[in-house]
Amino acid sequence: MHQLNNRQDYTGGRSAIYAENGVAATSHPVATQAALDILRAGGNAVDAGIAAISTLCVVEPAMTGLGGDCFMILSKGGVGKPIGLNSSGRAPAAATLEWYKEAGISEIEVPTAHAVTVPGAVDGWCRIHADHGKLDMAQILAPAIKAAEEGYIVQPRVARDWGECVSKLARDADSTARYLFDGKAPKVGDRVKLPELAKTLREIASKGRDGFYKGWVAEDIVAKLTSVGGLHTLEDFEASEPTYVEPISTTYRGHQVYEIPPNGQGVTAQVILNVLEGYDYASLSELDRVHILAEAAKHAYARRDALIGDPDFGPVPVERLLSKEEADFIRSKIDMTRAAPQGEPDRFVHRDTTYMTVVDKDRNALSFINSLFSGFGSGITAPKSGVVLQNRGSSFRLIEGHPNAIAPRKRPMHTIIPGMLGQGDKMVMPFGVMGGQYQPVGHAALISNILDLGLDPQEAIAAPRSFAYNGEMLLEDTFKPEIWEGLRARGHDVKSQFPVGGGQAIWIDHERGLLIGGSEPRKDGCAMGY
């Protein structure tokens, strides 16, 4: 990282964390502490990552859960090509396009059983642990179990997000009984216990993936889903399986940016970066940078919505999308004086995901994202296990021939994307930015903030965010008035937005033996090291 003498001061009220032996960065202080405790106990980045994510499933239940999906990128020792794991769930075997047509369903609604794909998260945890972990799973899950059994204190952002989901939770009696209190969301400082979830975590600690995908937990989830019209079977759960994948990469300013390939949308972030690389971005005004990012994103998202689906069911033209010729073509369509119209977007707006990253003393680096999709997912809870079920299936299209059309055992297009930045044969930064549709723009902005503007991870995460989406230019209030006015003059429909997304990143300084961590000031969490 270089430093620009005239750069704006972005800190988010906190400084970056500098440490030697290990750093964890998550969206909740309890989860960050859980990861550090595991590292100090002799665990590696994989063990610490699972400890943090499982804890987040308890203390940030609107954002993530056992009933969701996950993706990971793992660097072993910080050198060589990273490993990718896709643990996104599949549609039930009975979920044919014809079935939905005959049932008169033209759109998969969020608060329905049809939006629930088989949860892949726990499968992913158990696979990466079996192949690359060190400690016993019972020790790793102990912090999450303790939080669920003994209770935890609700933090400010958690309370806000929970409060936005009251009406969704109230639709389901089992969700109301377990996640509402006298019909209300908990307030800041309240203590919450989730005993059913603790019991499920203990089952996983004892039996591994079979503790979730077989036996009473699976039976509980399937019974709940079928009771509200779902097509799920126990066979669908037993057939669940994560997939190791080779991360796709593009270059940016002499670095490699790695993402999980489709069915994830990581390629969208890489398309945006390819476009930005053609500009002398650091020398541009802030107004020009925001405008270019918006215009690049419009083109990248249009390609995402038209072309990305499960590659097991049809080809996805990743090589073409990542070509420099494609980037040149997109740049030729960008007018620096005028905003282009935006095509019809994906109809689902969501920002509810949890991302965390950890690097250990051996420089194993884990980029890890776990999500329910919308806040509290589908809002459907299995009663005995306390598992809130995702709504990933709501991104499927019920359009014959579309790459993302629903089909038996098919994975939907996913918004969650962990990232990894490399330089030569070394990995220099695991990173991620939560925020649903915003994530590709968030990845591109974070990388550009570091490599173009010379910001450290904390400054890069805290910098003001913009997002051109659904025909609007959304700006955080931290932008200066002249940026708002300049964008309006170029034809952008500028609107204010609540702080969007949530990022974490850890820079690995191999030469000095340092780890530099940054965490999202828009959320409750922190980066910590030792």
pLDDT at 10 (0 to 100): 55
Cα–Cα dist 66/388, whole Å: 7
Residues 295-303, mean pLDDT to the nearest whole number: 95
Q: Please indicate, yes or no, whether residues 107 and 254 belong to a single structural domain of this protein.
A: no
Cα–Cα dist 334/183, whole Å: 50
Which residue among 32, 55, 353, 357 is the active-site one? 353
Model confidence at 287, pLDDT cuts 50, 70, 90, reads very high
- State the DSSP string of 25-70: EESSHHHHHHHHHHHHTT--HHHHHHHHHHHHHHHSTTT--TBSEE
Whether the Cβ atoms of residue 281 and residue 107 lie closer than 8 Å to each other: no
Does residue 492 lie in a domain region?
yes
What's the pLDDT tens digit per position in 122-158?
999 999 999 999 999 999 999 999 999 999 999 999 9
pLDDT at 347 (0 to 100): 43
Cα–Cα dist 268/249, whole Å: 12
Hey, what amino acid is at 466?
S
Whether the Cβ atoms of residue 164 and residue 67 lie closer than 8 Å to each other: no
Count of CB atoms situated within 10 Å of the CB of 20: 12
* CB-neighbour burial class of residue 505 (10 A; exposed 0-12, middle 13-18, buried 19+): buried
Question: Any idea how long the chain is?
Answer: 530
Q: Please indicate, yes or no, whether residues 371 and 504 belong to a single structural domain of this protein.
A: no
Tokens linked to 354: 């949890």
pLDDT at 292 (0 to 100): 98
Q: Please indicate, yes or no, whether residues 187 and 289 belong to a single structural domain of this protein.
A: no
Whether the Cβ atoms of residue 460 and residue 12 lie closer than 8 Å to each other: no
Kind and range of the H or E run holding 220 = helix 215-227
Residue 21 Cα distances to 12, 358, 363, 508, 516, angstroms: 25, 11, 9, 11, 11
Whether the Cβ atoms of residue 375 and residue 165 lie closer than 8 Å to each other: yes
Does residue 460 lie in a domain region?
yes
Does residue 376 lie in a domain region?
yes
Q: Is the pLDDT of residue 351 over 80?
A: no
Tokens linked to 267: 């390629």
pLDDT at 339 (0 to 100): 96
Average pLDDT, the chain: 94
The distance in angstroms from the start CA to the end CA of the chain is: 22
Tokens linked to 427: 């990995």
pLDDT at 470 (0 to 100): 87
Q: Please indicate, yes or no, whether residues 259 and 214 belong to a single structural domain of this protein.
A: no
Q: Please indicate, yes or no, whether residues 100 and 63 belong to a single structural domain of this protein.
A: yes
Q: Is the pLDDT of residue 25 over 70?
A: yes
Structural domain range at position 430: 245-341+416-529
Instruction: Report the percentage of the chain scoring pLDDT > 70.
Output: 96
pTM of the entire predicted model: 0.94
Q: Please indicate, yes or no, whether residues 315 and 391 belong to a single structural domain of this protein.
A: no
Does residue 278 lie in a domain region?
yes
Q: Please indicate, yes or no, whether residues 519 and 443 belong to a single structural domain of this protein.
A: yes
Cα–Cα dist 519/432, whole Å: 10
Hey, what amino acid is at 210?
D
Cα–Cα dist 141/369, whole Å: 17
Angle ∠(296,300,302) on CA atoms, nearest 5: 120
Instruction: Report the percentage of the chain scoring pLDDT > 90.
Output: 90
Cα–Cα dist 312/316, whole Å: 10
Q: Please indicate, yes or no, whether residues 319 and 229 belong to a single structural domain of this protein.
A: no
Q: Is the pLDDT of residue 325 over 60?
A: yes
Number of H helices, E strands in the chain: 19, 21
Does residue 355 lie in a domain region?
no
Whether the Cβ atoms of residue 135 and residue 188 lie closer than 8 Å to each other: no
Does residue 262 lie in a domain region?
yes
Does residue 351 lie in a domain region?
no
Read off the CATH number of the domain in which 424 is found.
3.60.20.40
Does residue 408 lie in a domain region?
no
Q: Please indicate, yes or no, whether residues 184 and 233 belong to a single structural domain of this protein.
A: yes
Domain count, the chain: 2
Q: Please indicate, yes or no, whether residues 211 and 111 belong to a single structural domain of this protein.
A: yes
Q: Is the pLDDT of residue 66 over 70?
A: yes
How many Cα neighbours within 13 Å face the side chain of 204? 33
Residue 69 Cα distances to 10, 170, 372, 377, 397, angstroms: 32, 23, 7, 11, 19
Q: Please indicate, yes or no, whether residues 460 and 428 belong to a single structural domain of this protein.
A: yes
What's the pLDDT tens digit per position in 393-435?
999 999 999 999 999 999 999 988 999 999 999 999 999 998 7
Residues 196-220, mean pLDDT to the nearest whole number: 98
Q: Please indicate, yes or no, whether residues 51 and 145 belong to a single structural domain of this protein.
A: yes
Residue 63 Cα distances to 142, 376, 436, angstroms: 20, 7, 11
Angle ∠(17,435,451) on CA atoms, nearest 5: 50
- Residue 353 falls in the annotated catalytic set: yes
